[in-house]
Amino acid sequence: MYKITQLESGQPVIFYLENEKVTMYSINSGRIRNHGIIFTDVESDFDICSDLKLIHYISLNHQTVISSMDNLNIREDYIIEGNVPSSNIENTNFKFIQFYNCLNIFYCSHNLKDSHFSIRVSRYTTFAKDFTLLKSDKIISGFNVFSSDSLLYLFVFYSSQDFDIYSVNSDYSIVNLLSKQYNSSNPDSSSNLTKHTDKELEKLQAYFNQILDDKDSEIENLKEIQTSITNQYNELADYTGKLQDEVRKLRCNY
């Protein structure tokens, strides 16, 4: 797998991932230079935030690794441990999203001692700021986060088969769009309860409707392609049958 970015000078830089190892190449004056292997423990989620000059991935020992690019120098800056035995904490389900002018790493944190769950986030630009976004007494079975219309949205799924939907504001205060409850675990948060949760839900519904419409359109296109292929197959079968009849007639005549 290749990932390509460029330096401020415009010089292209290529990262090639193969068998858990990442090799870096640069291109200058039409010549390719091999800078060697820079990572040896990549398990998944290897990607580059070109605007922020950051590289992230999940390592083989389930750590989240954030590295910065300074021209052709790569420096490992920040690690989020997957398991913290000394604190009885297990961190899982890391999600990376570049938004609000920083790299956001969302993850589920499970306190094995008291069985409490929380969704935490690390904001990273040139340094990390880590805090709890949401605490839950329920068992969190999974979550997802995505951006739409200048806001982040957080879907939290519970083992009890129910779920919550939150909007995440730029100060990382959150609003439960299903119950319209305001919550801020971020000590720097100063915003008030969003007064337009109904509009947010309408936008969210419109977003999902668009996804469904796109899927329906894709299904219709596939059906049309299938019909076209079937028609072409039937035409070909009919032509083949006629051709075989003509060949048999020729054989009989000779």
Residue spans per domain, the chain: 1-80, 85-195
Q: Is the whole-model pTM more than 0.75?
A: no
User: Which of these ranges, 64-68, 111-115, 135-139, 203-207, has the smallest mean pLDDT?
Assistant: 203-207
Q: Do the Cβ atoms of 64 and 83 come closer than 8 Å? A: no
User: Which of these ranges, 56-65, 96-105, 149-158, 197-206, has the smallest mean pLDDT?
Assistant: 197-206
Percent of the chain with pLDDT over 90: 38
Segment 214-234 mean pLDDT:
73
Structure tokens that stand for 49 in this block: 């935030």
Beta-carbon contacts of 149 under 8 Å, excluding residues fewer than 6 positions away, are 203, 207
Give the pLDDT confidence score for residue 195 in this predicted structure: 46
Give the pLDDT confidence score for residue 212 in this predicted structure: 59
CA distance linking residue 144 with residue 185, whole number of Å: 19
CA angle, corner 187, sides to 181 and 192, nearest 5? 40
Beta-carbon contacts of 58 under 8 Å, excluding residues fewer than 6 positions away, are 42, 43, 44, 45, 64, 65, 94
**CA atoms in the 13 A half-sphere facing the CB of 243:** 6
**CA atoms in the 13 A half-sphere facing the CB of 102:** 18
Phi, psi of 243 (to 5 degrees): -65, -40
Nearest Cα to 72, choosing from 128, 127, 9, 30? Answer: 9
Across the chain, mean pLDDT equals 82
Q: Which helix (H) or strand (E) holds 51?
A: none
Residue 182 Cα distances to 5, 92, 169, 200, angstroms: 39, 25, 11, 14
pLDDT at 16 > cutoff 90: yes
Would the CA dihedral through 180, 190, 170, 107 be positive or negative? negative
